[in-house]
Structure 1
Amino acid sequence: MTASTGSEPGSPKAQEHSLRTLDSLPRVGIRDFARDRGRFARPGRPRSPLWGMGDTVLIDFPVGPTVVLTSDPEDAKAVFANRDGALSFGEMLRRFTPHEPLFGSDAYIFREGDEHLKERRKVAPPLHGKALKSYERAMVDIVLRRLPEWPLGKPVSFSQFGGQLALDVMMTVIFGVSEPDRMRRLERAMTAYNAVSESASFLGVGVLTTLLSGRWAAIPRLARTAAAVDAIVLEEIAERRRTGSRTDDCLTMYLDIDAADEQPRGDEFLARSMRGLMLAGYAATTVTLGWLADLLVDHPESLAELEASLDRGEDDYLDAVIAETLRLRPALPFTGRRALQDFDLNGLLVPQGAYILIGIMALHERAELYPDPLAFRPDRFVGARPKAHSWVPFGGGAHYCLGAEFALFEARVLLRTLFEHRRLGAVAGHVGGRSSRTHPLPIPAGGAPVVLMARPSC
């Protein structure tokens, strides 16, 4: 193939330019990758033999895709900056993630170029800016409603509590379901759907089939539980259309957006989109809240500073704690693109059809970016915003996570409200910072065990 001409790193190049080929990269065999994949996707890059081979390696699959794996922030910058259609985010998702069976092949995340940007502009408003503030009261009420259910003075799983809060936010803020019976049915249906999507069997079948065939296999149980969720959302949509009722939630905004569109997508598409938002928000928030509690109780000095800052009515340190948690324990360990044509990755020729994967956790553990990178130090972000291309828990570029602002706002409100009424204590004998080896999500070992205590003022 003859690549098109370009002059900047990260753009296609004419063949007369001398670029390194993939043969110049260290090769990681499938056995070594399989043995070390846990540490690639889990904390501790400097201890990983895989990353000990260098910043950029070639994963050598005997059958399957050509994969360039990098933790270089300049590579991340080049990938995220691409705008000429040489790289595809959607094709990477189809090959390596369960997004297609979970969200549907017509989801906006699979669109590229101008079509992607147009769709993104339509679906963004409910997750950004002024809309967020309208959700705050509902998020506060969710925490206050759940607090009496959580026992005091004995070990509990904060990941479990965080997951419950995330689910409540999705049902209230995303779906806006208020009718009690429908809310109960939706919670049961969503819990069943989440259980399938988090199951080891789902991920195991998916990983195997994607390596062999390039697509995640259809799983009947997933389709059944998804349909059950969609049916309840369609009930809510039908009732709103019949009664004209309106509430401050994402569903109301999306109904308005679809009604004003020149080509409305229909209620089934809206229901599927709501389910996709729910699943993405639930998973990311569950992981983040669990890790935040686990890391804080393991670092009592940071926990004390957080409590003191919140008592002063300040959110800066809380925001820094959230940013540092996402640096050390991002909900997803990688992002990437597929090369739709030959691509210059800072002097490396990535051939058409190959995949570029960016190791998010490994990038976050680079000592030149973050001194003492494995240490939990929220002060890194006090008075300093995270920098693009060196802090990428939500990816970057045109495909930067649409729900990032929502997720950060949600974590701030939920945690601020919780700490107004509870204190966190460590569980004797528990060693924090370790990742579960059995749960499909990268949650803390043991589900982030903590002891909840009432605030003296309560």
Structure 2
Amino acid sequence: MAVIERFATDRELPPTEQLPPGPRLPALIQSILFLTHNPWIAPRWQRRYGDVFTITVAPAGRAVVLNRPEHIREVFAGAADTFHAGEGNAILGPIMGEHSVLLIDEEAHRVARKRIMAAFRGESISGWAPIVEQLAAERVAEWPVREPFAVHPRLNDISLEVILRIVFGVSDEARLAEMRPLLQRLIRIGPVIFVGWVYPQLQRVGPWRRFNELKARVDDLLYAEIADRRGVADLGERTDVLSKLLIAAPEQTDAELRDHLITLLLAGHETTASTLAWTLHDLARRPQLLARVRRAAEEDDDEYLEATVKEAMRLRPVIRNVARALAKPTRVAGYDLPAGVVLLPSIVLAHRREDSFADAAQFRPERFLDGSPPPATWIPFGGGLRRCLGASLAMVEAVAVLKAVLRAVDLAPVGRSERPKTRNITTVPARGARLVSLPR
């Protein structure tokens, strides 16, 4: 690590015309550091080069990292025909599909977003909370007692079940049994798979060939579920997202629906489970705070539980950056930037700013009890026209699971605080957030 730190901090890239300064490391090294050690390297580059700096990262190329709220607001308020999130997320295309709402821009994005939003109306979301809480309570009852275990995989199981039941709406037990292990494998893809997407010649060998075979099996199951759902007699009475998507726009192709489902799976499964894992990991190491949050669970104080989850998302952002590709030259953060540059508002850096969050290193849910934080300071769901469509479901799920866990068990930490590690595009506890569960 000392060698990496020396390379990461001791060499500078002379300012390229129209771009802020940044590290001079080879593009491959910058990519590895930024994609796999982001919580460690981003603050070091910020200290070295300032609040606006340029990196070179595959497959985006030149990218400008931002973290000041006023600069992030410029990005989120930018014109849809200039700030392209779809292009910025292009690395996810091989798994999410060309119709994914994360990968399209302008009018195509507006249409797709409107359709998906119809499935996330308030009355639907409020009805999902009891379902999530029951699912979570059933799984927590199966947790080991008085012995260390990694809670993150267990939370992944809960989150996957929420996706299967509430988003996919799968009820056939045989199909559920077949889907679960395949989707778990799909979700656990690592950064090495991304390399195969940048270099297509790798697709026929090793882990990339196996990934393509896995993806094909998952797609077959999803297409079968979509075909079955189109033929059910009670479609209008169902509350799952797939059924609502079919009602909102029955003309959507199976490929479009498949891409929406995979996007909601990948954007909503790992992120929520990892947020909850970090939340329980940190609460177990803060007994007084844990007691306060447990009281909120027992009293149905959803406001305090939600504030706790939001604070965990601030301290431990699971997604590290937002991405926008410039389709046209434009001025951002005081720089006249050319088309093709990718803007990366850094969630990690924005959430650590002392001028946005006093005593930023401290876990204090009370920050979120007195109204929303100032715009563009707390951005785990992105912002602007591209704010995460599943944000409301994520918060409902997180609060319901937290409530079910803390009503059922006490928590004790195992060892020292865990370091973060990168899994696909998320930051997770390196050892799975090991805890001891004690019956109440």
TM-score by length of 2: 0.87
Deviation track 1:152-183 (CA, whole Å, cap 9, x = no partner) reads 11111111111111111111111111121111
**Contact residue 29 and residue 61 of structure 1 kept, 8 A:** no
Structure 2 unaligned regions, length at least 5:
1-14, 202-206
The separation in 2 between residues aligned to 1:37 and 1:209, in whole angstroms, is 19
Deviation track 1:6-44 (CA, whole Å, cap 9, x = no partner) reads xxxxxxxxxxxxxx9855733211257468537962268
Aligned 1:20-419 pairs, distance under 5 A: 22=17, 25-31=20-26, 33=30, 37=34, 41-42=38-39, 48-59=44-55, 65-83=61-79, 85-94=81-90, 97=91, 99-195=92-188, 198-206=189-197, 209=199, 219-246=208-235, 247-259=238-250, 264-419=251-406
**Contact residue 21 and residue 54 of structure 2 kept, 8 A:** yes
Letter of the 1:177 counterpart:
V
SS of the equivalent of 1:443 reads strand
The separation in 1 between residues aligned to 2:17 and 2:418, in whole angstroms, is 36
Deviation track 1:221-269 (CA, whole Å, cap 9, x = no partner) reads 333222222322333333334442443211111121232xxxx122243
The separation in 2 between residues aligned to 1:93 and 1:284, in whole angstroms, is 16
Superposed displacement of residue 362, structure 1: 0.6
Letter of the 1:237 counterpart:
I
SS of the equivalent of 2:301 reads coil
Superposed displacement of residue 132, structure 1: 0.6
Superposed displacement of residue 205, structure 1: 3.7
Superposed displacement of residue 328, structure 1: 1.3
The separation in 2 between residues aligned to 1:367 and 1:231, in whole angstroms, is 49
Counterpart of 1:10 in structure 2 is none
Deviation track 1:184-235 (CA, whole Å, cap 9, x = no partner) reads 111122123223xx234314444x649x9xxxxx944333222222322333
**Contact residue 190 and residue 423 of structure 2 kept, 8 A:** no
For 1:436, which of 408, 421, 427 is the aligned residue?
A: 421
Superposed displacement of residue 406, structure 1: 1.2
Which stretch of the first structure deviates more once superposed, 282-291 or 142-151? 142-151
SS of the equivalent of 1:109 reads coil
SS of the equivalent of 2:182 reads helix
The separation in 2 between residues aligned to 1:146 and 1:64, in whole angstroms, is 40
Distance 1:62 1:29, change over 3 A: farther
Letter of the 1:71 counterpart:
N
Structure 1 unaligned regions, length at least 5:
1-19, 213-217
Letter of the 1:78 counterpart:
E
Percent sequence identity is: 25
The separation in 2 between residues aligned to 1:64 and 1:138, in whole angstroms, is 40
The separation in 1 between residues aligned to 2:57 and 2:426, in whole angstroms, is 24
TM-score by length of 1: 0.84
Letter of the 1:172 counterpart:
R
The separation in 2 between residues aligned to 1:452 and 1:301, in whole angstroms, is 17
The separation in 2 between residues aligned to 1:147 and 1:84, in whole angstroms, is 44
Which stretch of the first structure deviates more once superposed, 268-277 or 396-405? 268-277
Distance 1:114 1:335, change over 3 A: same
Distance 1:192 1:318, change over 3 A: same
Distance 1:371 1:35, change over 3 A: farther
Deviation track 1:244-302 (CA, whole Å, cap 9, x = no partner) reads 2443211111121232xxxx122243233222212221111121111111111122221
Q: How many residue pairs get matched? A: 418
The separation in 2 between residues aligned to 1:90 and 1:204, in whole angstroms, is 19
SS of the equivalent of 1:349 reads strand
**Contact residue 230 and residue 272 of structure 1 kept, 8 A:** no
The separation in 2 between residues aligned to 1:303 and 1:446, in whole angstroms, is 21
SS of the equivalent of 2:323 reads strand
**Contact residue 90 and residue 111 of structure 1 kept, 8 A:** yes
Letter of the 1:337 counterpart:
R
The RMSD of aligned alpha carbons is 2.8
SS of the equivalent of 1:58 reads strand
Letter of the 1:339 counterpart:
L
Superposed displacement of residue 70, structure 1: 1.6
Letter of the 1:449 counterpart:
R
Distance 1:275 1:39, change over 3 A: closer
SS of the equivalent of 1:334 reads coil
Superposed displacement of residue 431, structure 1: 1.7
Letter of the 1:274 counterpart:
L
